[in-house]
Amino acid sequence: MTTNEIEGKIRLCGRAATALAFGLLAIAAAGARGAAADDAKDSYEKYYEAIQVKTLCEDSGAPDAKTMEKISAYIASENKFSMTAGESLSAIQEAKSNAQQMVKDSGCDDRAVQQLITLYHSTEAAAQ
């Protein structure tokens, strides 16, 4: 094998290694994006569970439209990963369902329910 042939194979291996590295980076980025999306959805749902629990457990009921507008904007600003309208709606519906089940099963005095009410009030205060 000549020196030129060896150098050619080395370049070919170098290109293959570069392509492999870029491929692995793309896979890692896709995985990170998936994890970020899951984290965003979980965070989003937690805020909306807090709103629903507050609505169910406090005499004042649901927040008024102006308050909800501020809270929604705050939640969107805290959620660093953008979700589509469909994803947002799905997350809100899931959160409402989870909150209703939690209150039904455990009652409003449950520690986890009270933590969500606290989250609601801290979110409302931060949104002002």
- 69 in a structural domain: yes
How far apart are the C-alpha atoms of 53 and 3, rounded to whole Å?
74
**Domain presence at residue 14:** no
Looking at the predicted structure, is the pLDDT value of residue 17 above 90?
Answer: no
In a domain, 75, yes or no: yes
* Segments forming the whole domain that contains residue 64: 37-127
Helix axes 3-57, 85-106, angle to 10 degrees: 50
Number of domains present in the structure of the chain: 1
17: in domain:
no
Q: What is the pLDDT of residues 80-100, one digit of tens each?
A: 667 788 888 888 899 999 999
Q: How confident is the model at residue 51 (pLDDT cuts 50, 70, 90)?
A: very high
**The pLDDT of residue 93:** 92
pLDDT tens, 28-40?
Answer: 444 444 444 567 7
46: closest CA among 113, 118, 116? 116
In a domain, 5, yes or no: no
User: Do the domain assignments include residue 73?
Assistant: yes
DSSP state of 112: H
Give me the half-sphere count of Cα atoms (radius 13 Å) on the Cβ side of residue 12: 6
Stated pTM of the model = 0.69
Instruction: With respect to residue 10, please indicate whether it lies within any of the assigned structural domains.
Output: no
Mean pLDDT of 39-57: 89
